Amino acid sequence: MVLYLDGRRRYLTRVKRGSTLHTHKGYLAHDDLIGKAFGSPIQSSLGARFVALKPTLRDYLRKLARRTQVMYPKDMALLLVYANIGPGARVVEAGTGSGALTSLLAFYVKPEGRVYSYETHGEFLETARRNLERTGLLEFVTLKEGDVTQGIEETQVDAVVLDLATPWLVVPYAFKALKPSGAFASFSPTIEQVVKTVEVLNHHGFVDLETVECMTRRYQVERGRTRPETLAVAHTGYLTFGRKAVSQHGE
């Protein structure tokens, strides 16, 4: 359940009988939350008015993002739509990390599609597994300990999605794994990663290449005081896309 206080403060919590949520605006007894309809108001011990909301995918992403992730929901959203990933798609993803992007992909390929998520660090996989279980999305994901710069086992996939340090090393394996016309998508914080990746994509016959940056700006909206917020995240990373073309005589 999300306990929403205001634009800056929200608490994603798993309701457990006997537990208590402590906030600097007072505490809330979990027992009072049980059976509460989503959307209902809840008063804290200090009288602050919270609203009980149903957690969204983005609420989970917000939580995961506090840790290692640099990709933001804005980037994931663009990646999803630009790489044509939707219900039923089979997608290879690497690296898994805390499972934030994995969750988003699983949320959108379900119920028929599947995400094959590779991670070289076994300990990250355990964290990701727990996060995916919590969001109920684990059944749509195959978590794999492995290094996509050495190879990809799946074939005929609809998309290969990368958030790792050396995406250019994965391009040949992504080419083999993809269906013809399938989508390659990569997220990179630095411009040098982009340049190398685009060079290798061109070399391997990917077409429809595109590199794009997505920036968002939030607004304070209030009659007479409307303006963009002062501080913003000015850069997370660049997104690079391509699609697999094949030669006349097959691949």
77 contributes a contact to a second copy by CB under 8 A:
yes
8 contributes a contact to a second copy by CB under 8 A:
no
Residues 81-120 that bind a second copy (CB under 8 A): 81-82, 84, 86-88, 104, 107-108, 110-112
Helices 122-134 and 100-109 cross at an angle (nearest 10°) of: 50
On the question of a cis peptide bond just before residue 250, with omega within 30 degrees of 0, the verdict is no
Q: What CA–CA distances, in Å, run from 137 to 1, 36, 178?
A: 17, 24, 23
169 contributes a contact to a second copy by CB under 8 A:
no
Give the one residue of 69, 116, 240, 242 binding a second copy; rule: CB under 8 A.
Answer: 240
9 contributes a contact to a second copy by CB under 8 A:
no
Nearer to a second copy, 10 or 144 (CB): 10
Q: Are 206 and 244 in contact (CB under 8 A)?
A: yes
Per-residue binder mask for a second copy (CB under 8 A), 196-215, x = binder: --xx-------xxxxxxxxx
Least Å distance between CB 73 and a second copy?
6
**What is the spatial distance between Cα 165 and Cα 68, in angstroms, rounded to a whole number?**
14
**What is the spatial distance between Cα 211 and Cα 241, in angstroms, rounded to a whole number?**
6
**What is the spatial distance between Cα 186 and Cα 79, in angstroms, rounded to a whole number?**
8
Q: Which stretch binds a second copy (CB under 8 A): 22-30, 46-54, 93-101, 143-151?
A: 46-54
Nearer to a second copy, 83 or 92 (CB): 83
